[in-house]
Structure 1
Amino acid sequence: MLLRDLLAVAELRLALLTGDDRLDREISGVLITDLPDPGRYVSGGELVLTGLMWRQEPADSERFVDALVKAGVAALGAGDARLGLVPDDLVAACRDRGLPLLEVPVEVPFGAVTEIVGRRLPGLAGTQVGELRSALGRHRRIVAAVAEGAGLDELFSLMASELGVTGAVISASGSVIAGELPEGHAVRLAREYLAAVRLPVVAGVDGPFTVFAVDRSDRAAGWALACRGELDVEIGFELASCVAMERTRMEEGRRVERRLAEQLIALACSGAADLSELSARLRTCGIDAAEPYVVVTATAARRNATEGPDPAVLGGQVVEELLGRQVVAAAGADGSVALMPLREHGTADALAARLRERTALLSAGLPGTRVSIGVSGALTGPSAIRGGVEEAGHARRLADARGGGVVTSDEIYTHVLLLATVPGDVRRSFAERLLGPLFDYDRRHQAELVRTLGSFLECAGSWNACAERLHVHVNTVRYRIRRVEELTGKNLSSMADRVDLFLALRAG
């Protein structure tokens, strides 16, 4: 069947948008897909029909059309059910690459196009056409439901009833977003998702699951679709595209919430707003004026990366997923900031424990990404926001200095915070100046002056306690400490000198 013959079918009302000089192309078959790269499923000569679910940004159109041209398809048919029109960027991409583009009206089912092509292609039996029509009908019902606003729960219901596919959408931190899956299974599948070199991957968790990436989000903040059984890859990609469409829709609503949170935090930190205005904005963000909450700050950085997502933005996305999307995180210059009510976790320590558990999963699965999170103490009322942001920020910077993880406010009111604020080269220089002679002596004489000094300070200067800890005679401890004093020029009976050596040991 020629492309011009298909356009001549009046009942389809197809409109040619590009390629009027290529109407004599032969159509060998039809493929309906919303995969970002369907090239592997076409062999050349097909008419590809798409609902445009793969398009999240204009640049996606060039990537999609490039894949089709490379595969040698005859033409592309775009439905306008999702966007209400065929976007200009897709028209331009097809025109520039010489690919005929047809607009399929919203009221024309893709199945009708497929049926007409099937009737005119030689060798396609009636039973094959019927089976294809039935499969297309199931696919179309799912796609149409999602395009019309069906949520994830409805999508999973349709997946089960129309395709017999069950499973769940999970986050990278192992929480179940939609569907049904035991928490332990979700955590194990999240590990498989994070560790996979390529997706999809088949993972064995109480039977096989096929795990697909939902979209092109950074994997640390990504979602995965885990379907029971070894699912056909094309079906899985189509379903993952449906989930991605719903995630995009959900994200639109969260942008408004982020703006409100940004405004609240900016006003609170500026000190320019009165308490009544801050109280009103706090309630708008879902926290009652008398309700306890904590401030959580976060960054997520790829080690040695010169490009990629902003650490503050990615940190905000990660912390939102770690907290089950119960909060929104406002990205700032020094990290993202979120206000988390304690109504579910009870205490700041319990919340921090949950964050540590989930952050450890990310760190193990993505060793190249450093997630640093700071948690303030429990706060109440709008006047505490500014101090909470500062407190959580100090904790987050301490976590970053440690190489990532979760730090609470309890840990920052110590010498550790002071050391964390000192540049690394200054800390190393300080430690080297005081302790360098001891390390040199230990290397030359196989002595243990550094170890003895550390134990002596930890034992609060007790000769006997230090000797017991090191399993040596007390006179040995006295001799070693004298050598420490001689080599460093410090007097360990002086509190100031003890502090200097203690900090040097911690700074190195």
Structure 2
Amino acid sequence: MRIRDLERLGVRLLTGDAEREFSAVYVTDLPDPGRYLSGGELVLSGLMWWHGEEDSAAFVAALVRSRVAALGAGQAWLGRIPEDLVRACEAAGLPLIEIPAEVSFREIVDVTVGRLAGDVREALGRHRRIVAAVAEGADLPELFALTAAELGVTGAVVSATGELIVGTAEDPVRLARAYLTAPRLPYLVEGRTVFGVGRMPRAAGWALVVDGDLTERADVGYELAACVALERRRLDEGRRVERRLLAELLAARTDLGPRLQTCGIGPGDPYAVVSAGTEPEILEQLVGRTAVAAPFAGAAVCLVAHPGDLSVRLRRGVEVLGDPALALGLSGTLTGADALRGGLEEAGHARHLAESRSGGVVTSAEIYTHALLIATAPADVRASFTRRLLGPLLDYDRRHQSELLRTLEVFLDCAGSWHLCGERMHVHVNTVRYRIRRVEELTGRDLSAMADRVDFYLALRAR
């Protein structure tokens, strides 16, 4: 019920918004009734607690802490509404209603209870219509349109990666970023109110964006968000079978062709494998609602039919999520069941390379270099290899404050040119020769031999 609905009783709004809603009425003359309030009430008071200006400030502060909707002040006791009470309410943003002496609190309570009961009946009727639509199999666009119309609002639902799920929005990516970065929800941004859908982590969730400022009518947004969450749960229940089938396919060694077809990929359909170091639900957000992901080999894996510009989509999604440490690997385009195992290895190697770069998206085109060898070697093997080969140089540099390791790195980058290395390091060529000989003595390697140069190059890159 709104404050303006009481105006026909002869009350007058002194401060605040007449459109402010309240959900209950509480009558009190306690100087601090906070312990008896739960938020959203219209508090009616005869002002018997008032003795001076400081009393008004304390009483209003107690109401604000309890998040009440408004204060109704009666004139019967004092014959007036103190100016300091008006100022305190105005400063706190608390609507203040003047109740003349001839208007009894009982009359307000009776009208309010009757109207609120009507609101409850209306809400129940709306709930029955929505439940009936769900029972009849209404899809998400139909359910969203019905619920939004019942509640008298417009808006859209977007994923955390900026995909428009339902409704209309000019820039869903900007709305997704607002949802991900909001200090709390609901959140007002550019004349729209953003609500969370469900209780899942934001990176895996959806955002409900309602046109207009609903911060004072949050219950409307919560009701619409609850309906969207209900439909998403139903969709997720239906996808649970698809996730199980994908998990079985990834673990299988035989009958890959029929299993691939049960996952929606025919014998001649192109597809790609995505491997991500994150939860399957977040990978599904990145790839799109039509794909499903399942855990495999310590990562989340998804098969995407007709991948197209999937790498562009993945990079854009990672950027929107704002998680630079998120690592994803993308295989090349594959066809047929026989290519699946190779695609899984490609995507996994690409993800390892992305992890070695501290995150990002790596495609199969980037892994067929020495970086693949380094990224796919176990961490303990890489550490042992670099320690055995470079350890003597690190120890020598630490003891003598020298630059053997740096000289070795520049020397290899200069393809073994003494003069070019000296120029880059701003030292004499004889200094370079001396340092390289010292490297060979400490490590027992010969830098004129290609095999030893390759070993040093890989050890430096694997650090």
State the TM-score, normalizing by the size of structure 1.
0.63
Asked if the contact 1:320/1:328 (under 8 Å) is kept, the reply is: yes
Structure 1 residues 140 and 263, CA gap change in structure 2 (3 angstroms): same
| 1:319 equivalent in alignment to 2:311 | no
Structure 1 residues 161 and 279, CA gap change in structure 2 (3 angstroms): same
SS in 1 for 2:236: helix
Report the Cα offset of residue 135 of structure 1: 6.0
Q: For each residue in 1:465-500, what CA deviation from the matched residue of structure 2 results, as whole angstroms up to 9, or x when unmatched?
A: 434544555444334333433443332112222122
| 1:225 equivalent in alignment to 2:208 | yes
1:74 corresponds to: none
Amino acid at match of 1:292: P
* Cα distance in 2, alignment partners of residues 409 and 40 from structure 1: 58
Q: For each residue in 1:97-129, what CA deviation from the matched residue of structure 2 results, as whole angstroms up to 9, or x when unmatched?
A: xxxxxxxxxxxxxxxxxxxxxx9x834376666
1:158 corresponds to: 146
Asked if the contact 1:156/1:166 (under 8 Å) is kept, the reply is: no
2:237 corresponds to: 252
Counterpart selection for 2:250 from 254, 265, 278:
265
Amino acid at match of 1:284: T
Q: Quick check: which has more Rg, 1 or 2? A: 2
Asked if the contact 2:265/2:305 (under 8 Å) is kept, the reply is: yes
SS in 1 for 2:277: strand
State the TM-score, normalizing by the size of structure 2.
0.68
1:332 corresponds to: 296
Asked if the contact 1:360/1:405 (under 8 Å) is kept, the reply is: no
1:72 corresponds to: none
Amino acid at match of 2:327: S
* Cα distance in 2, alignment partners of residues 163 and 496 from structure 1: 73
2:81 corresponds to: none
Counterpart selection for 1:285 from 256, 263, 284:
263
Report the Cα offset of residue 237 of structure 1: 1.6
Q: For each residue in 1:336-361, what CA deviation from the matched residue of structure 2 results, as whole angstroms up to 9, or x when unmatched?
A: 33221225x1xxxx322321231233
* Cα distance in 2, alignment partners of residues 442 and 266 from structure 1: 49
Q: Unaligned 5+ residue runs, structure 2?
A: 1-23, 26-36, 42-106
Asked if the contact 2:147/2:227 (under 8 Å) is kept, the reply is: no
What is the number of equivalent residue pairs in this alignment? 367
Report the Cα offset of residue 236 of structure 1: 1.6
* Cα distance in 1, alignment partners of residues 244 and 379 from structure 2: 35
Report the Cα offset of residue 249 of structure 1: 0.9
Structure 1 residues 40 and 449, CA gap change in structure 2 (3 angstroms): farther
| 1:485 equivalent in alignment to 2:440 | yes
SS in 1 for 2:110: coil
Structure 1 residues 139 and 378, CA gap change in structure 2 (3 angstroms): same
Give the 5 Å matches for 1:168-317.
168-182=156-170, 185-202=171-188, 204=189, 207-231=190-214, 232-267=217-252, 270=253, 272-273=254-255, 278-300=256-278, 314=279, 316-317=280-281
Structure 1 residues 451 and 210, CA gap change in structure 2 (3 angstroms): farther
* Cα distance in 1, alignment partners of residues 436 and 301 from structure 2: 47
Report the Cα offset of residue 427 of structure 1: 2.8
Q: For each residue in 1:423-443, what CA deviation from the matched residue of structure 2 results, as whole angstroms up to 9, or x when unmatched?
A: 434433432343344345545
Structure 1 residues 342 and 478, CA gap change in structure 2 (3 angstroms): farther
Identity of aligned residues (%): 59
Report the Cα offset of residue 250 of structure 1: 0.8
Asked if the contact 1:146/1:245 (under 8 Å) is kept, the reply is: no
RMSD (CA atoms): 3.6
* Cα distance in 2, alignment partners of residues 161 and 216 from structure 1: 24
SS in 2 for 1:230: coil
Report the Cα offset of residue 322 of structure 1: 0.8
